[in-house]
Amino acid sequence: MKRSEINSLIRDAQAFFKAHRFELPRWAVWSPEEWARHPEDARRMKSLQMGWDITDFGSGDFYRTGLILFCIRNGKPGAGPGGKVYAEKIMVVREEQETPLHFHFSKQEDIINRGGGDLVVELHNADAKEGLAATPVTVSVDERPQHLRPGAPLVLKPGESVTLPTRLYHRFYGAKGRGKVLVGEVSQVNDDTKDNRFLTAPGRFPAIVEDEPALHPLWPELPG
């Protein structure tokens, strides 16, 4: 992805959050220079994988397969007694923009439609070899059990949420004709370097072409 595209996507996300009255932490708008003046904060946020996160999952086509996220809070795996055991993210999902099939080895999460359009989620159980099982899927939608055929579209309207247990394959995208979706995630501690099992996507983090200065660094780029 080009840096100019990433900068544009961050500006668009900021406007979308503002339109939905969703406020980010103050450090969300820090420039690279501001982060350099706060090295301890930068090291902490980087170690917790907090902040801006944009990916095309190695597809080379962000608007078809991609996602923009902001991790608001997170703990560290195995932090022990007194450590934070939960995480929260906010995301922007475009119409028919896919986050490809994946599951998490350790993290259970709620995916929440916080506003905008409709979010479509497709689910598959994993088989013993981490492929797709042909078995029915049962999930909780706002604490009500839902029984689905593997891969059947589950549509979340604004305000609705689904609980995804570990090792349950899921992909999601915005419904066509309904506009961008403000998507929340509340989960156990998040580790995007180790806890994702993608079925076919080439990678979690993008290669970046530096065609202009960064507006705000992504969390892996924070100093320290």
Confidence band (pLDDT; 50, 70, 90) for 134? very high
Per-residue pLDDT at 133: 98
Q: What is the mean pLDDT of residues 92-120?
A: 98
Confidence band (pLDDT; 50, 70, 90) for 79? confident
Reported as a single tens digit per residue, the pLDDT across 19-31 is 999 999 999 999 9
Per-residue pLDDT at 77: 81
**Quick one: which of 98, 6, 118, 115 has its CA closest to 51?**
6
pLDDT higher than threshold 90 for residue 117? yes
Q: In what order do the strands lie in the sheet with 51-55?
A: 51-55, 67-73, 86-93, 181-188, 109-116, 161-164, 137-141, 144-148
Which of these ranges, 15-19, 24-28, 90-94, 220-224, has the smallest mean pLDDT? 220-224
Per-residue pLDDT at 48: 97
pLDDT higher than threshold 90 for residue 83? no
Per-residue pLDDT at 108: 98
Domains of the chain, by residue range, sit at 3-221
Confidence band (pLDDT; 50, 70, 90) for 203? confident
Confidence band (pLDDT; 50, 70, 90) for 81? confident
Contacts of 185 (CB under 8 A, 6+ apart): 69, 87, 88, 89, 90, 91, 109, 110, 111, 112
CATH number 1.10.260.40 given to 3-221 = no
Q: What angle do CA 198, 17, 77 make, to 5 degrees?
A: 40
What is the rounded average pLDDT for all residues in the chain? 96
